[in-house]
Structure 1
């Protein structure tokens, strides 16, 4: 990636990014994704949560005693590039689970479906509580 583009991302305080159309960057190699030390939960989904989804996501984080700054979104196809991390949780929302050693794993339907599905919210809560032992 050109140095100017990296500088631009840095100025916008973007430390985690993904090139979606790698065919335009022939010299770009698949590299690792470095997560900040403050990241405790990685939210893996096929799409970025909407504003409505963010409200539910915030409620779940609060129940886990986590702040929004301690969570990051990552598309499922990028998980294999995660380098060394300090994660406690990995939440797979509507995508297949990939186990990360030493990380507590949660699985749920997509957030967009959970707004009206009380059972899926209960199931997620039970998963969270199962790690409290």
Structure 2
């Protein structure tokens, strides 16, 4: 879609405020724009669900066990990993999605955060992954 005034007006008439191309790699010649993370971001949560409500408290508890707090984390959706530019990450956590993209970073894999809450087996699996990076 060309980005001109008539196209934008058409989108506004349909009450579409923003849109995102999910499979840009399928288009010939399309270049994905990258985004950089702030230097303060140490853990990136990649998940189809952004932590909200009570799940944030559980997420904070895990972060504290890693010596981090919410101010040093960010969330992105799995399809955004390919657009990730420069970063100073120490950790990347794939929650409820497959691992992709970034190498040479401490990597955690888990079900969705809401599936870890109250599930001792999943909490233990997550803790074992975190401990495996301690030296």
Return the TM-score normalized by structure 1.
0.78
1:32 to 31, 34, 42: 34
Q: CA deviation at 1:30?
A: 3.3
What is the distance in 1 between the residues matched to 2:125 and 2:20? 38
Residue 6 of structure 1 corresponds to none
> Do the aligned partners of 1:104 and 1:131 also contact (CA within 8 Å) in 2?
yes
DSSP 3-state at the match of 2:123: helix
DSSP 3-state at the match of 2:86: coil
What is the distance in 2 between the residues matched to 1:67 and 1:47? 19
What is the distance in 2 between the residues matched to 1:111 and 1:119? 13
What is the distance in 1 between the residues matched to 2:81 and 2:20? 17
Q: CA deviation at 1:51?
A: 1.1
Residue 19 of structure 2 corresponds to 21
User: Where in structure 2 are there 5+ consecutive unaligned residues?
Assistant: 4-16, 22-30
User: Where in structure 1 are there 5+ consecutive unaligned residues?
Assistant: 2-18, 24-28
Q: CA deviation at 1:72?
A: 0.2
Deviations along 1:16-61, one digit per CA (max 9) or x if unpaired, are xxx96147xxxxx631111000000000000111211100000000
What is the distance in 1 between the residues matched to 2:20 and 2:129? 37
DSSP 3-state at the match of 2:37: coil
> Do the aligned partners of 1:99 and 1:105 also contact (CA within 8 Å) in 2?
no
Higher mean C-alpha displacement, 57-66 vs 113-122: 113-122
What is the distance in 1 between the residues matched to 2:87 and 2:75? 14
1:72 to 71, 74, 92: 74
Two-structure CA RMSD over aligned residues (Å): 2.0
What is the distance in 2 between the residues matched to 1:45 and 1:65? 21
DSSP 3-state at the match of 1:78: helix
What is the distance in 2 between the residues matched to 1:116 and 1:36? 32
Higher mean C-alpha displacement, 112-121 vs 71-80: 112-121
Q: CA deviation at 1:99?
A: 4.5
